[in-house]
Amino acid sequence: MTATLGFVTRLETGAFKGHLRTLNISADIDVVPVRDKTSSSYPDYRVVSSGVEIGAGWNNVNQTSQQPYVGLTLAHPDIGPRTYKVKLGRAAGQDDDDVFALIWNPED
């Protein structure tokens, strides 16, 4: 089972801007590239809402399709007691290459 927790649009700057929405949260988010990575393990993105960092993101490659994707880890007391791992992926019926769904699979 997967769930869509919101949508983001890729900007010309390489950042993403959109909305995170769950039963408890409705918040605008920015997924901002980290330009000064000091280590390969350092995140490629920071996820921010209202000036508060709520997560981080990494560029990844799907092992089956070899397609690149961005994986986010969201964690903040306002989100709840657990960490959520979401992927930026195509929403059903979406034909805009710059619009992505925040797809959460609780089994990941």
21 versus 108: the higher-pLDDT residue is: 21
CA neighbor of 47 nearest in space, from 82, 72, 77: 72
Residue 14 pLDDT class (50, 70, 90 cuts): very high
pLDDT of residue 21: 93
Residue 108 pLDDT class (50, 70, 90 cuts): low
Rounded Cα–Cα distance for residues 56 and 17 (Å): 14
- Residues 86, 26, 41, 12: is their CA dihedral positive or negative? positive
What 3-state DSSP class applies to 18?
Answer: strand
Q: 99-104 and 26-33 as β-strands: parallel, antiparallel, unpaired?
A: unpaired
Determine contact, residues 8/17, Cβ cutoff 8 Å.
Answer: yes
